[in-house]
Amino acid sequence: MQRRVTGLTAAVAALSMTALLAGCGGDSGDDGDVTLKLVAADYGDSPANSSKKYWSELTKKFEDEHPGIKVEVTVHSWTDVDREVKEMVKDGNAPDLAQIGAYADYAAQDKLYSADDLLSIPTQADFLAPLSKAGEVDRVQYGMPFAASTRLLFFNEKLFKSAGIKPPESWTQLQAAAQKLKARGVKIPYALPLGPEEAQAETLQWLLSGGGGYTDNVGSYDIDSKQNVQTFQWLKNELVGKGLTGPTPPAELDRAEAFAAFTRGDVGMLNGHPTLMQMAAKKGLKYGMVPMPGVNGKGQSTMGVADWMMAFKQNGHRKEIGEFLNFVYSKENVLDFSREYDLLPVTASASQEMTDNKEDSAKLGQFLKELPTSQLYPVGKTSWAQVSVQIKKYIGKTVDKNGDPEAILGQIESKAAAEESAQ
């Protein structure tokens, strides 16, 4: 219950507040302005569309509308940004905000504000449900989704047409299509990138299409489930074993090379995200996209991926951070970012706007349709970073000639359980 402050108590309170404010000049200017420091990842592929440009325009608009709050943004490449933030936090110099790839470790260390601390109810409620849930640790949201994407099965229209193939809707049809492509001399009928770059993504897409996933219904690791084992036995025997994944062993094939091979016309089918559309368009490659086939038909859900915004408590600027984030997540600003980088909006209002817009829908409509039912990595687990390393290191071995999917998935599950219990 709040007490009324009167008389001498009020005077003491006023003097205390004056002293407190006087001691907070470390990141405030002489005019009393608060300066928020944000470290962000670069989504651009050239100086013309660098994220520096996006943030410069956004922060200028914010500062014009919010006198007294300044925002300094430092942009790093994805190769460096997570490490830079980790070092800043370790050195006791955490930024006010970080827009990076993972948040759970910082939440577990009690270094982050929760979304409840920062966002208005309408802003927080506007996040798409699977993204909001993926941002939770112990049912409290600390990670605020900033960018999202899903996966679809891309196919080379020219190769499919020449082989008389329709887009597959089941694993059996995918295998049959791959066999026809191979018979016509296609170098890589289906590209299966299980190399160390991003094996955890291709793996999750296949696990979901087989009715499994990384976790069970209560969020516990279930990597060696019956469904998951059956999925990788099928991949080993029915795709890789029949020579339908090209000359490079899946354990040695990275996503970047698979994408590049697709744009060269060497690949018949592969899982891809919106960035592949840009790459194919630049090469003049005609392609189609369909939902990932499931074991007996269309899969129940696809894989979703999100990047995260988080706010550190160290500098104590909760109110100012909240004002900035409520501005960042306005429908207009979410749309501007999504359109600039061909990524999916993380809010329901912006997603609906893009769905209703003919130009947006023509480009990203199929990805947008998949996002509300997508499943993300278990990023709320602090153990996930190490589990992901294990998947990247070992999952490709499941489809080797002498690979044992059940044993290898069991090995990864055991390591995951050990990491989880160590947290």
- The DSSP code sequence of 120-160 is -HHHHHTB-HHHHHHTEETTEE-PEEEEEEE-EEEEEHHHH
Q: Are residues 313 and 214 in the same domain?
A: no
What is the distance between the alpha carbons of residues 103 and 137, in angstroms, rounded to a whole number? 10
Type of residue numbered 135: G
Contact partners, residue 343, CB within 8 Å, separation at least 6: 43, 147, 148, 149, 274, 337
> Does residue 10 belong to any structural domain of this protein?
no
Per-residue pLDDT of the chain (423 residues; tens, 9 = 90+): 333 333 333 333 343 433 333 334 344 444 568 999 999 999 987 788 899 999 999 999 999 999 999 999 999 998 899 999 999 999 999 999 999 999 999 999 999 999 999 999 999 999 999 999 999 999 999 999 999 999 999 999 999 999 999 999 999 999 999 999 999 999 999 999 999 988 999 999 999 999 999 999 999 999 999 999 999 999 999 999 999 999 999 999 999 999 999 999 999 999 999 989 989 999 999 999 999 999 988 777 889 999 999 999 999 999 999 999 999 999 999 999 999 998 999 999 999 999 999 999 998 999 999 998 899 999 999 999 899 999 999 999 999 999 999 999 999 999 999 998 887
Domain identity same for 125 and 251: no
**Same-domain check for residues 83 and 142:** yes
Q: What domain count does the chain have?
A: 2
**Structure tokens that stand for 232 in this block:** 């990788």
DSSP state of 69: E
Residue that is last in its domain, among 373, 397, 413: 373
**Residue 323 belongs to a domain:** yes
Domain membership of residue 16 (yes or no) is no
Q: Does residue 228 lie within any of the structural domains?
A: yes
Is 279 in the same domain as 412?
yes
Q: What is the CATH number of the domain that holds 262?
A: 3.40.190.10
Domain that holds residue 287: 152-302+383-422
Residues 277 and 405 in one domain: yes
Residues 145 and 181 in one domain: no
254 and 390 in a single domain? The answer is: yes
Please tell me whether residues 233 and 275 are part of one structural domain. Answer: yes
Is the Cα dihedral 381, 300, 160, 244 positive or negative? positive
Cα–Cα distance, 292 to 13 (Å, whole number): 63
- 266 and 309 in a single domain? The answer is no
- Whether residue 298 contacts residue 169, with contact meaning beta carbons closer than 8 Å, is answered with yes
The owner of tokens 């999925």 is 231
Largest interatomic CA distance in the chain? 91
| Domain termination residue (choose one: 351, 373, 395) | 373
Amino acid at 421: S
**In a shared domain, residues 281 and 141:** no
Residue 378 lies in a domain: no
Residue 11 lies in a domain: no
- Other CB atoms within a 10 A radius of the CB of residue 140 amount to 14
Does the model's pTM come out above 0.75?
yes
Distance CA 125, CA 141 (A): 12
In 3D space, the residue among 340, 246, 287, 310 whose CA is nearest the CA of residue 55 turns out to be: 340
- Burial pattern 381-413, b for ≥16 Cβ within 10 A else e, equals bbbbebbbebbbebbbbbbeeebbbeebbebbb
Whether residue 102 sits in one domain with residue 123: yes
**At CA 289, angle to CA 285 and CA 295, rounded to 5?**
135
Q: Do 142 and 158 belong together in one domain?
A: no
Q: Does 3 map to a domain?
A: no
Q: Determine, yes or no, domain membership for 24.
A: no
